[in-house]
Amino acid sequence: MIPDEDFITDENIPGPTKEEIRCMVICKSEVSPDDIVVDVGCGTGGLTVEFAKIAKKVYAIDRNPEALKLTEKNLKKHGVYEKVNLIEGDALQILDSELDKVSDTIPDFDILMIGGSSGDLTSIIKKGYKKLKNKGKVIVTSIMLETRVEAVKTLQTLDMIPEVVEISISKGRIVEKGTMMLARNPVTIVSAKKTLIY
């Protein structure tokens, strides 16, 4: 995993997702070199870069053009820019093939990563689910209590069985007296696999 400090950051753009959380997301996603990933709300590009290091192709969506510029910088810095398509716009519209022509450029995918949804989580999951391949995975990272509840309920309505993992990490800071442990905010990772029975 790339250390947090190796990402270019901007105080107005969230991210990067902390290293240990990125680690767990990549692990839970089971991303492989054949996979196509959609990263909704790419922010700083923390997760986009990590997915791009492994996957065949990543489609990174953000409605904030500044976030896309920052993600582009981080992709270039880490040598994976050519593996990523950056798409500016609202994830809901982009994933809605009936509403938006841009979505034609996104083929069916193996992983739907949602790191930002601004009130549209249920609809984004439902829209994304339609283009998610069988055995594909949905991953939602959340810092808000409500987001994780919404993710679990929505995945259940789609007959998926969500796994919910909350990660609380403390990191040691070396000070004069020794190593001081500093707690970070807990993050919840909700993940589920699409399993169609024919």
Q: Which of residues 100 and 134 has its CB atom nearest to ligand SAH in the complex?
A: 100
> Does 10 sit near ligand SAH (CB under 6 A)?
no
Size of the site for ligand SAH (CB under 6 A): 26
Q: How far is the CB of 102 from ligand SAH (least distance, A)?
A: 12
**Which residue type sits at 140?**
V
Q: Determine the residue with CB nearest ligand SAH.
A: 116
Q: How far is the CB of 186 from ligand SAH (least distance, A)?
A: 16
Q: Which of residues 71-130 bind ligand SAH (CB under 6 A)?
A: 90-92, 115-118, 120
Count of CB atoms situated within 10 Å of the CB of 85: 12
Sketch the per residue contact string, 30 through 69, with ligand SAH: x for CB under 6 A, - otherwise: ----------xxxxxxxx-------------xxxx--x--
